[in-house]
């Protein structure tokens, strides 16, 4: 049980200074945690000053890509990611590099792949960087490989530039395709960032009342959303139950030891009394 609690509640995320990482969600009266629109995300980047960097990636449900030409075709989970996603998290690819801001702006057909995909489909080929792979219907050049321990989001097989998103997703505040990750500035708490983000979203609500009128923001430490998530309270309840059972067992053991000690003491007194009576019954020498 301790291993489970440690692994889920206590073990740290495998990123640089994970305590400074947060997720930023849009919040609506009916939906307290809602993914962000691309225009809102861009506004957050420009107007929020509590963060060193703000990055984003698309949802798992959006990005299923067919890998062709590498044995049997396989459906992969891809993520359109901002060029600063890996630097925000503090991830350094184990092979090659991440794609650059210039590649993102230029809509370059480049990709970073996960270590799992690299080993599974490419035999961990050390010459993978520069290789072109077919992600239907286009070809992409592999520029890097991310360690399995640092794959983020955890479901991603590969990452492609953010700029390759459909144009309507890039420009309209109607669609909410993004999960937003940010790194707090040194000395800034999540609560302080939350206060600033409330001000930012209030300005956006006044500027875009039709789409942002009822929206605010939630700033939540990444350690909470990624490690504990919804299971944290349940695990703490289970931990408390296990602790209670252990306490009962210890109390029972202590009670048994006291009873045995009392029995031993009573038996010792009885034996001493019997010896005394036998000695008293002996004739004087």
Q: How many Å separate Cα 240 from the centre of its chain?
A: 24
The position carrying tokens 């929020």 is 48
Say if CB 184 and CB 50 are below 8 A apart.
yes
- 2 pLDDT higher than 90: no
pLDDT average, residue stretch 1-12: 47
Say if CB 34 and CB 27 are below 8 A apart.
yes
214 against 247, higher pLDDT: 214
274 against 167, higher pLDDT: 167
- pLDDT given for residue 228 in this prediction: 44
- pLDDT given for residue 269 in this prediction: 67
Highest mean pLDDT out of 25-39, 132-146, 241-255? 132-146
- 225 pLDDT higher than 90: no
218 against 234, higher pLDDT: 218
Pure H helices in the chain? 2-5, 38-47, 85-89, 101-105, 115-122, 167-171, 190-207, 209-212, 222-223, 232-281
pLDDT average, residue stretch 192-220: 94
- Give the list of residues 6+ apart from residue 141 with CB closer than 8 angstroms, or none: 108, 109, 110, 111, 130, 131, 132
Predicted confidence band at 233 (pLDDT cuts at 50, 70, 90)? Answer: low
- 7 pLDDT higher than 50: no
- 257 pLDDT higher than 80: no
- 221 pLDDT higher than 80: yes
- 209 pLDDT higher than 50: yes
pLDDT average, residue stretch 88-116: 96
Task: Read off the pTM.
Answer: 0.75
């Amino acid at each position: 049980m301790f291993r489970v609690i440690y692994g889920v509640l206590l073990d740290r995320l495998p990123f640089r200074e994970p305590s400074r990482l947060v997720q930023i969600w849009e919040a609506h009266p009916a939906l307290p945690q809602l993914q962000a629109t691309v225009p809102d995300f861009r506004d957050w980047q420009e107007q929020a000053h509590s963060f060193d960097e703000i990055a984003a990636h698309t949802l798992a449900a959006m990005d299923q890509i067919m890998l062709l030409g590498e044995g049997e075709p396989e459906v992969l989970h891809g993520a359109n990611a901002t060029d600063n996603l890996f630097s925000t998290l503090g991830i350094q690819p184990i092979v090659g590099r991440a794609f650059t801001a210039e590649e993102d702006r230029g809509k370059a057909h480049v990709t970073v792949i996960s270590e799992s995909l690299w080993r599974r489909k490419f035999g961990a080929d050390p010459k993978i960087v520069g290789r072109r792979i077919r992600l239907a219907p286009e070809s992409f050049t592999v520029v890097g490989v991310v360690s399995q321990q640092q794959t983020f989001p955890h479901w991603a097989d590969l990452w492609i530039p953010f700029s390759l998103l459909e144009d309507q997703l890039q420009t309209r505040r109607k669609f909410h395709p993004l999960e937003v990750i940010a790194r707090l500035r040194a000395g800034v708490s999540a609560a302080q960032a939350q206060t600033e983000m409330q001000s930012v979203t209030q300005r956006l609500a006044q500027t875009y009342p039709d789409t942002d009128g009822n929206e605010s923001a939630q700033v939540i430490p990444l350690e909470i959303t990624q490690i504990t998530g919804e299971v944290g309270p349940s695990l703490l309840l289970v931990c408390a139950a296990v602790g209670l059972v252990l306490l009962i067992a210890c109390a029972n053991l202590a009670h048994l030891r006291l009873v045995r000690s009392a029995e031993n003491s009573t038996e010792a007194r009885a034996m001493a009394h019997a010896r005394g009576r036998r000695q008293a019954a002996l004739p004087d020498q």
